[in-house]
Homo-oligomer: A and B are copies of this chain.
Amino acid sequence: MRPTVHDIAAEAGVSLATVDRVLNNRPGVRAVTRGKVEQAIATLGYVRDVAAANLAKGRGYSLNFILPAGENSFMRGLEAEVRAAKAHLASERTEITIRCVPAFDASALADALAEARRQRPAGVAVVAVDAPEVVRAVEELRQEGIAVVTLVSDLPGSTRDHFAGVDNIAAGRTAGNLMGRFLGDRAGPVAVVAGSMLVRDHRERLEGFQAVMHECFETRLLLPVVEGQDDAALVEKLVGGLIERHPDLAGIYSLGAGNRGLVAALEKAGKAEAVCAIAHELTPHSRAALLSGTIDVLLNQDAGHEIRSAIRVLKAKADGLPVIEAQERIRIDIFLKDNLPNGQA
């Protein structure tokens, strides 16, 4: 049998309450008494049963998720994952509320954060927009003792407790490495389509991509970045234009959303095979394009992992427990058509 508080109380010759006090290092215990208890804990090898503790505390975690609204497939997938987790966690004293706010709208986001603060949840997870007012809103949450995790898009300069998302510079570098190697000696320039340079993720991916292309494939011509605003129609137009102006186009790196437009443009121009296309995020559309060969590589961040990690971290922070960073690192998945998972997405 594992030792319990009773065992250590007996061993130390004190009462339960005293044991509890030193366990939760609360004040009001003489140093000697504390010593006896700690001694008993050590010799018996006591480890606290967190489940029982939480039960006694009647502790419940209320968590707030704030996501961008809109049609972005990835974000909707993210929301679906939150709902799935929500259902799953109903039996674990964890309550999740979801709130969607207009995308890329810093003041709307700051308002939503302020409102979340009024509800006094244990923690808030937010897809951040990189703006001063958002930073301020996050500070205020933190000052109330509310844990904050940024999701997918980080908020540097803030005191958020944790970032649950991928290293976008590494993602961009990976795309660059693969693009360079896949093209080999094939001639022709490479184009980059971003969503918006106002978004931090996109800036970082671009930075990583360009760095590797310049370091390792310096002879390859990189076309100026075009911005598709994560909008399929606009992306299609832009890519169509690129193909027209550069008949020898060898590759395209699409680092934002709107992949439907990318795929449409390539296929309409009969360039699905000829152009090496690397894109981000596994969605039903991008998956189909990968299988058909129009897209050659898909870089992905696993939305389910991000959500579950955010929840774990939020709970841990709310309890003042440490987080095992290595375990919470979100990987960059690289999908070829051969290692595509069978499931959803």
A181 in the interface, Cβ–Cβ < 8 Å? yes
Residues of B close to A176: CB separation below 8 A: 338
**Would you call B51 and A336 a contact (CB within 8 A)?**
no
**Would you call A182 and B181 a contact (CB within 8 A)?**
yes
Among A69-77, A126-134, A167-175, the stretch that binds chain B is A167-175
Distance in angstroms between the alpha carbons of A91 and B52 in the assembled complex: 10
A327 in the interface, Cβ–Cβ < 8 Å? yes
Interface size on A, residues (CB 8 A): 47
A55 in the interface, Cβ–Cβ < 8 Å? yes
**Would you call B326 and A171 a contact (CB within 8 A)?**
no
Distance in angstroms between the alpha carbons of A198 and B178 in the assembled complex: 34
A90 in the interface, Cβ–Cβ < 8 Å? yes
A177 in the interface, Cβ–Cβ < 8 Å? yes
A292 in the interface, Cβ–Cβ < 8 Å? no
* Contacting residue for A338 out of B88, B177, B344, CB 8 A: B177
**Would you call B51 and A55 a contact (CB within 8 A)?**
yes
**Would you call B339 and A174 a contact (CB within 8 A)?**
yes
**Would you call B336 and A333 a contact (CB within 8 A)?**
no
**Would you call B339 and A332 a contact (CB within 8 A)?**
yes
A214 in the interface, Cβ–Cβ < 8 Å? no
Distance in angstroms between the alpha carbons of A92 and B49 in the assembled complex: 6
Residues of B close to A32: CB separation below 8 A: none
A237 CB, nearest partner CB in chain B, Å:
30
* A contact residues vs B (CB 8 Å cutoff): 2, 47-52, 54-55, 60, 88, 90-93, 167, 170-171, 173-174, 176-178, 181-182, 184-186, 208, 212, 304, 324-327, 329, 331-334, 336-339, 341, 343-344
